[in-house]
Chain A
Amino acid sequence: LAKTTQPISMDSYEGQEVNITCSHNNIATNDYITWYQQFPSQGPRFIIQGYKTKVTNEVASLFIPADRKSSTLSLPRVSLSDTAVYYCLVGDENNAGNMLTFGGGTRLMVKP
């Protein structure tokens, strides 16, 4: 399973755009890149998933360069409620058990 590296923490202010970059140098051909968000005392929840180029949904955008060795989660105009831990994962949906490995995540603190 491909391992990921993310910054341990980031600070931002309300209304700013936040970009969290994840490195996954040994990503395999069949691996997808998935981001989860976790609030205190809750389980993680899915934010966005992509394979290459750019993916956008109502919550975030995901940018993936051509070599796929990294990815960037972009949160537009963050609010205080976006304070959470963000996990980057890579995994193969055809892998037995769909196992995804969670690293330490990035703790985002949004300040007023």
Chain B
Amino acid sequence: SQTIHQWPATLVQPVGSPLSLECTVEGTSNPNLYWYRQAAGRGLQLLFYSVGIGQISSEVPQNLSASRPQDRQFILSSKKLLLSDSGFYLCAWSEDRDRNEKLFFGSGTQLSVL
């Protein structure tokens, strides 16, 4: 069966520090991968998605970046965090078939930038 791992679960970082969040999927190959962010009490904002190794689509211009160095690994990074980067970050995956595949979410990372 397929599983998705996301870590860390909680992170507290000072403004201006770097960030690296990692997500891995097991039990499937060539998945579509996604990073969403959720501000406190708000909706799910799509940040990046990837349909293959090295293929990253950015949805919102900001100081975050994403990379997919391996088929089932998706990394969210920042060189310098801002206060506005605080939020609940969710990694998700879907089968690479068509637009109608459901998303499976990781357990999320609660990031607080102070």
A binds B: no
Residues of A with Cβ closer than 8 Å to B? none
